[in-house]
A and B are shown apart, each in its own frame.
Chain A
Amino acid sequence: GGAARAAISDPAIAWSYRDRASAYWNSIVSGGEAFVESLGKPKDSLVSLINEGSSEKSLADIKAFLAKTGGKCAIACDANDSPNARPVVEAVRDAGAYISTIWNKTDDLHPWDISDNYVSHMTWSDEKPAEQTARILFDAMGGKGGVVHLGGIAANNPAIERLNGLKNALKDFPDIELLDAQPADWDTTKGTELMASFLTRFGDKITGVHCANDNIAYGVIEALRAEGIENMPIVAYDGNPEAVKLVMDGKLLATVFTNPHWGGGITAALAYYAATGAFKPSEEPKEHREFYGPTVLVTKKDAADFKAKYLDAVPSYNWKDFWGPSNGQIKYK
């Protein structure tokens, strides 16, 4: 509402995320750390709230953090499962703290309906980029043949969107058949085993593989290598350093970079600066409170440039340029 501008001096900053055992979340945290360093604080002043894939722990940890700081804090958060977002932001609001979220929230939850304490939500529209990678894949297949999709955890939003992207692209390629789509749970080992089973079921009919993320693609490549299959067209998602290297080596056609480093930093920055009163969320337009993050398609021809720009030396960002690289307001279906 129209209350006085918030002014928590020196709020504590936390990132609540899934786990430390993945390149993606590491990158997110590195962005968060870059941000706190930009404030002249040490890296470890960014508190990690790790939920290990448990919504229950996610909520409990955030509440514990709110209690510990007495509400004088700014939180960046992926709520792990979309229904968990609501109790999390409500708890933050009730404590008078500030939060920005990424990825998971339900469609009926909007920052402007909660209060200034729910600063923003960023997500990535995966459908379009996944469609783009699918097109690259289909072109490499010569516009015909069979494709299999190895997906993420079935109920996860990105998993659904990435499969939808593939299906959208299929409409323009009548000679390509989607042989099957099965979840590989974002996991390398599952990826190998699922791919091996697909090989038995479809054999030579498989002429292209669409993976929901890089980790699955690593597994797929190994499953194919075990069979001596070298030139299968494969696309992936996430733009992890190892995957970019595979793109450069030609083992992977494309992956999609979502710039988690920037996402990690800017999400924390949004919550932080709203908490200090540097800006007032309710005075911002809606596209500044629910927006898409950036996506960069990485293919063989731009992989080297990409690597130089984003991976070899992490670019330094202006953490007050909140919406520069973003990609427009979130649209719901």
Chain B
Amino acid sequence: MDIQRLKPHFPWITLLVLVTIVGIADPSFLKPANLLSLAGDIVPLFIMALGLTFAIYIGGIDLSAQSMANMITVVASVYLAPLGIWVAGLCILAGFTLGTLSGYLTTRMYVPSFISTLAVGGICFSVAQWLSGNRALNMDATQRNETFGWMIGRTGVVPHELFIAIGLLAICLLIERRTVLGRALKAVGAGELAAAASGLNVARYKILAFAISGGLAAVAGLLFSVKLSGGAPTIANGFLLPAIVAVLVGGTPLTGGVGGVLNTAIGTLIVAVIRASMLYFGIAATQQQMVFGLVLIAAIALTIDRSKLRTVK
């Protein structure tokens, strides 16, 4: 067997191995209902990671995603009553617009995305604090159920979030593999100067990548606030690092141009399984963080395809 040919498959092999290990420790983990529910619970994080994939795919990063989701939970809670279903549009528009702002700062003003998105995240946080009056808000339960109840129900053992996730993944996958936009993003990630010299409007595609990232972070925030039936300026805290980790563990390196959204789906599942494994192996509270770090190192050592990385930075 040629190890070279296996390399692109390492991420899902790693996932399978992890699932098997946990399954041996506790076979009840492998029950389909359990696995589906595990997958369903990670969907908001996955959607954020999906968006981040676009930013990372072009070689940037989006650190505003978490603050964006925070802000959106507040926006959704405040405007659900007056706007009804249209609040979804408002949320996505807000995410898209602020993502565009990050993109604009990065491409036109030459502020590295690490900084520009962090700063835009600061703006989101301020807006969230101001709009919420600095307190947790809740949605009217009946109105939430009428408007967005379909997002969080369950059909048989399949959580509806999974349909949303699969739908978004399919759309993103098609964009990545089959559209001019996807090809352009790949070119920008792998060789920005050559893409520019081929007459691509690189700035526009880059801005679009950040906008998509912002838009999907908003969807993540919206889904999350529907799930919790409320919002607060800090409620989505704890999303950012796991989402970045999910993208990277999936095999999309920060240098861009390699990997993609399918990798992120696998990466998110790997993160979910590692997290659940703490419970299944009964790791003591004081050791969990350390074990998480160590397992992460092992997982990424297994998943990344080094042949695609010219230098490891």
A29-73 vs B, CB cutoff 8 Å, 1 = contact: the mask equals: 100000000000000100111111111110111011101101000
Instruction: Say whether B3 faces chain A, with CB atoms less than 8 Å apart.
Output: no
User: For the complex, would chain B's binding face be called helix, strand, loop or mixed by DSSP majority?
Assistant: helix
Residue contact B285 to A50, C-beta cutoff 8 Å: yes
Total interface residues on A, CB under 8 Å, equals 38
Chain B interface: which of A80-88, A200-208, A236-244?
A80-88
Which residue in A44, A50, A68, A87 is a CB contact (below 8 Å) of B28? A68
Q: Which residues of A contact B44 (CB under 8 A)?
A: 56
Chain A residues, Cβ within 8 Å of B276: 64
Query: Are A20 and B286 interface neighbours, CB within 8 A?
Result: yes
B-contact 0/1 string along A141-164, CB 8 Å cutoff: 000000000000111110010000
Per the 8 Å Cβ criterion, residues 232-281 of B in contact with A are: 232-239, 242, 272, 275-276, 279-280
Q: How far is the CB of A57 from chain B (nearest CB, A)?
A: 6
Chain A residues positioned under 8 Å from B73 (CB to CB):
83
Are the C-beta atoms of A155 and B132 separated by less than 8 Å?
Answer: yes
A106 part of interface (Cβ distance < 8 Å) = yes
Residues A83 and B282 in contact in the complex (CB < 8 Å), given A60-B41, A60-B42:
no
Which residues from A are CB-within-8-Å of B132?
155
Taking the nearest CB of chain B, how far is it from the CB of A152, in angstroms?
11
Given contacts A83-B231, A87-B227, A154-B129, contact A54 B286 (CB under 8 A): no
* Contact A64–B38 (Cβ < 8 Å): yes
In whole angstroms, what is the CA distance A51 to B28 when docked? 23
* Interface check B147, CB cutoff 8 A: no
- The size of the chain B interface, using a CB distance under 8 A, is 48
**A108 lies within 8 A of chain B by Cβ:** yes
Task: Kindly identify which residue among A49, A84, A104, A157 contacts B279, using a CB–CB cutoff of 8 Å.
Answer: A49
Q: Which of B31, B136, B280 contacts A81 (CB 8 A)?
A: B136
Q: In the assembled complex, how far is the CB of residue B310 from the closest CB belonging to chain A, in whole angstroms?
A: 35
User: Is residue B179 within 8 Å, beta carbon to beta carbon, of the partner chain?
Assistant: no
Q: In the complex, what's the smallest C-beta–C-beta distance from B133 to chain A, in angstroms?
A: 9
The answer for the CA separation of A115 and B73 in the assembled complex, in Å, is: 27
Q: Are A108 and B138 in contact (CB under 8 A)?
A: yes
Q: Contact at B233–A155, with CB atoms within 8 Å?
A: yes
Q: Which of chain A's residues have a CB closer than 8 A to the CB of B275?
A: 57, 60-61, 64
Is the CB of B45 closer than 8 A to any CB of chain A?
Answer: yes
Per-residue A-contact encoding for B276-313, CB less than 8 Å = 1, 0 else: 10011010111011000000000000000000000000
Which of B135, B225, B227, B279 interacts with A68 by CB under 8 Å? B279
Residue of B28, B135, B239 near A155 (CB, 8 A) is B135
The CA of A243 and the CA of B276, in the complex, are separated in Å by: 36
- Could you jot down 6 A-B contacts, CB within 8 Å? A50-B288, A60-B42, A67-B33, A68-B280, A84-B228, A104-B136
Residues of chain B having any CB pair with chain A under 8 Å:
26, 28-29, 31, 33-34, 37-38, 41-42, 44-45, 73, 129, 132, 134-138, 141, 224-225, 227-239, 242, 272, 275-276, 279-280, 282, 284-286, 288-289
A interface residues with partner B (beta carbon < 8 Å): 20, 29, 44, 47-57, 59-61, 63-65, 67-68, 70, 81-84, 86-87, 104, 106, 108, 153-157, 160
